[in-house]
Chains A and B, each alone.
Chain A
């Protein structure tokens, strides 16, 4: 009887795994076939207004990079506080839990939130709002990784620094962060990969633009929002561009993920 149950559970597990994998590969294969077919030099050298992706790719990158510039310092400082300074404080556990909850907050809600606090007062969608929304998505991930990775550094290393007469902040910045830098870097890379492919937080915040721009005070072009818009167009040519964009985005996110994993393995 136990043997039979064993077999059934094993069979169900394999089936579940297969279903997941089938859909994943279906998506990837479909995306590759339609995406690769749509890629040519034209889309890299022209903006959306001329049926190209150039402004979208650069725009997406700018939005994500600005989000990193805003989100990483805030997240890291919060993580450092939690691990290094909150000793014995009852708020620390509360902040940790809150941050974890934030990690699973629906991205569209974050988009609407930023719409209310940034877009609405300004009166129009703009690049900064998009980056802020992405940064808000990123912060909890960075908080968590920083907190965890600093926690893995043995306490003797902190004591050794203090015992040499170094002030605590110096020990943290000179020694502890260095000892944890591989883990933290990986976490930031993975957080970057996570936000680089987001659509929902940008939908209400950065809007979209057909033209090349570096001015983040205006509506700002982004690949993900463009894919969303283009995919619903009746013009088949535009749908083809959406496929190309989706393929490029997937490859990009995949590469960052692989890079993150590679960094971990190299250093271990």
Chain B
């Protein structure tokens, strides 16, 4: 059992908030596994996910306490100590993110996937082309778009756009991918495609996924964390959480008695 990320005694406070939104979180993200974060709206699961690549730092004034460790070259580094933009850029190249709504950039399909590569220091044209093709294949999109790579990404369907965003994220070959409710804006067929893709991806990356859809969590994840009002209530193997929860709150939530 190897952890790619370890969250230790983690507290998060939004700017000017009187109380922390996340309290005393202890959680590990295991390598090549899918960890699902579930819980009712406002429980802090998205905040936790957004702390893992410090994307929330776009908006100043957040307060972090505790440690979030990321394995870099077999050593654990505390990402909360990063101050310079360069370190944060490196962090985000290692820890990618997919959002709730598809976010294609207003440029061609090819340029979308190639966008992150230039910041990862990849300059050779042939290497970029190779990485783009590989990423699109990895996102099960290559056969659909290989003849229209130069067309605008804005003309794709919602499900295709979301897979494009996944392709874009895996093109930079991150170690961890964070999914923030990636299917909540998609129809059931696109959702199934994305779920299948996420499961395939764990061969190559470690995954943390926030979802409102409990069936989704039970279908695809290896570990599940149930959060409530900023606390991590229970964390364990998905099967155990869904079939044999230890906490009453967890049981109530997954059986639909509240939330």
Taking Cβ atoms with an 8 Å cutoff, the residues of A that contact B are: 87-88, 154, 156-168, 170, 174-175, 178-179
- The answer to whether A168 and B101 have CB atoms under 8 Å apart is no
Residue pair A170, B119 in contact (C-beta under 8 Å): yes
Question: In the assembled complex, which residues on chain B have CB atoms less than 8 Å from the CB atom of A178?
Answer: 105-107
A87's partner among B60, B100, B103 (CB-CB below 8 A) is B60
Contact between A160 and B92, CB atoms less than 8 A apart = no
Query: Which residue from chain A places its CB closest to the CB of B115 in the assembled complex?
Result: A164
Give the residues in chain B near A156, CB-CB below 8 Å: 99-101, 103
Which of B93, B115, B119, B120 has most A Cβ within 10 Å? B115
Q: Residue of B at shortest CB range from A84? A: B58
Give the docked Cα–Cα distance between A154 and B55 (Å).
Answer: 15
Q: How far is the CA of A154 from the CA of B60 in the complex (A)?
A: 18
Contact digits for B84-114, partner A, Cβ 8 Å, 1 yes 0 no: 0100011011001101110101110000000
> 10 A-B contacts, Cβ less than 8 Å apart?
A157-B105, A159-B97, A159-B99, A160-B99, A160-B103, A164-B168, A165-B89, A167-B85, A168-B58, A178-B105
Given contacts A164-B168, A165-B89, 19 further A-B contacts (CB under 8 A): A88-B15, A154-B103, A158-B58, A159-B97, A160-B97, A160-B103, A162-B55, A162-B58, A163-B99, A165-B92, A165-B116, A165-B120, A166-B89, A166-B116, A167-B119, A168-B58, A168-B85, A175-B106, A178-B105
Cβ-defined contact, A166 with B60, below 8 A: no
Please indicate the chain B residues that have their CB under 8 angstroms from the CB of A165 in the complex: 89-90, 92-93, 116, 119-120, 172
Specify which of B89, B106, B169 lies most central, judged by the most chain A CB atoms within 10 Å of its CB: B106
B130 at the A/B interface (Cβ < 8 Å)?
Answer: no
* A162–B116 CA distance with the chains assembled, in angstroms: 9
B47 touches A (CB below 8 Å):
no
* Residue of chain A at shortest CB distance from B95: A163
Chain B 139-170 interface residues, beta-carbon cutoff 8 Å to A = 165, 168-169
Closest to B89 in A: A165
Residues of A within 8 A of B59 (CB): 87-88
